[in-house]
């Protein structure tokens, strides 16, 4: 099996979820998506993660981004776990969880790392664009919970840089200055970035965020 890389088309699949059967590409539609995996149901760190995503769903919605989780357990187990998540995290799970008992999706996305554990999925995260291409991949160890503020930050960056000739600097947050692409000439800057710019070095030019 070939390893999935940035820019590859996200593999399509049909799977059962807690919200019914989905075809992944059809479910994504023309928006963005986040697919994230969990080692198994009834695990403590994942319980906090799924609760956090439920609380952040409005933020994902604002970014035209759907979220979907995956675990190698079945629907009945998922539904029982959702009750625990809702109770302990004081929220309501409002997104689907894939039942990947045959590990078909886990294998497609290379979510099982034998040297970590040969049966459980690692904590993978994939951000997928409207073109169905993989835009970001992060793999966390089972012991470390994910930072969903960081995923929102990355989505903001991806959506900005998809439509403007800019990149976002270290620790950038929505509303802060961005870096002008090296491919943009100084002559093009006034037309592309009418808010002005600063030239720190010929290769390092900044401008206010252009889409706000």
Mean pLDDT by 10 residues, the chain (212 residues): 84 97 97 93 93 97 97 94 97 96 90 60 87 95 90 98 97 97 96 96 96 91
For residue 53, the model assigns a pLDDT of 97
Q: What is the dihedral of CA 43, 155, 107, 19, to 10 degrees?
A: 60
Residues 188 and 113 in one domain: no
Residues 38 and 100 in one domain: yes
Phi and psi torsions of 170, nearest 5° = -55, 135
Helix axes 44-62, 148-163, angle to 10 degrees: 30
Confirm whether 45 is domain-assigned. Answer: yes
Residues 63 and 29 in one domain: yes
> What is d(CA 83, CA 146) in angstroms, rounded to the nearest whole number?
21
Residues 200 and 98 in one domain: no
Residues 18 and 120 in one domain: yes
For residue 120, the model assigns a pLDDT of 58
Confirm whether 150 is domain-assigned. Answer: no
Catalytic residues: 46
Residues 88 and 182 in one domain: no
Q: Which domain holds residue 177?
A: 164-207
Region label for 90, one of left (φ > 0), alpha (ψ between -120 and 50) or beta (otherwise): left
For residue 1, the model assigns a pLDDT of 46
Query: What is the 3-state composition of the chain as percent helix, strand, coil, each rounded to the nearest 5?
Result: 30, 25, 45
For residue 192, the model assigns a pLDDT of 96
Domain count, the chain: 2
Q: Report whether 35 contacts 109 (CB < 8 A).
A: yes
Residues 37 and 81 in one domain: yes
């Amino acid at each position: 099996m070939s390893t999935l890389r940035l820019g590859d088309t996200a593999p399509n699949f049909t799977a059962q979820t807690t919200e019914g059967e989905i075809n992944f590409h059809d479910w994504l539609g023309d928006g963005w998506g986040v697919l994230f995996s969990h080692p198994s149901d009834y695990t403590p760190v994942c319980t906090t993660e799924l609760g956090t995503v439920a609380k952040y769903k409005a933020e994902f919605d604002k970014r035209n981004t759907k979220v979907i989780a995956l675990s190698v357990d079945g629907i009945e187990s998922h539904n029982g776990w959702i009750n625990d998540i809702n109770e302990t995290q004081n929220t309501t799970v409002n997104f689907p969880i894939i039942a990947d008992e045959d590990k078909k999706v886990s294998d497609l996305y290379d979510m099982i790392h034998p040297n970590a554990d040969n049966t459980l999925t690692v904590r993978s995260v994939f951000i997928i664009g409207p073109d169905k291409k993989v835009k970001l991949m992060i793999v966390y160890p089972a012991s470390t919970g994910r930072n969903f503020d960081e995923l929102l930050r990355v989505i903001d960056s991806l959506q900005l840089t998809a439509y403007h000739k800019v990149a976002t600097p270290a620790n950038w947050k929505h509303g802060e200055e961005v870096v002008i692409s090296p491919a943009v000439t100084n002559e093009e800057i006034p037309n592309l970035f009418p808010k002005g710019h600063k030239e720190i070095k010929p290769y390092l030019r900044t401008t206010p965020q252009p889409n706000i």
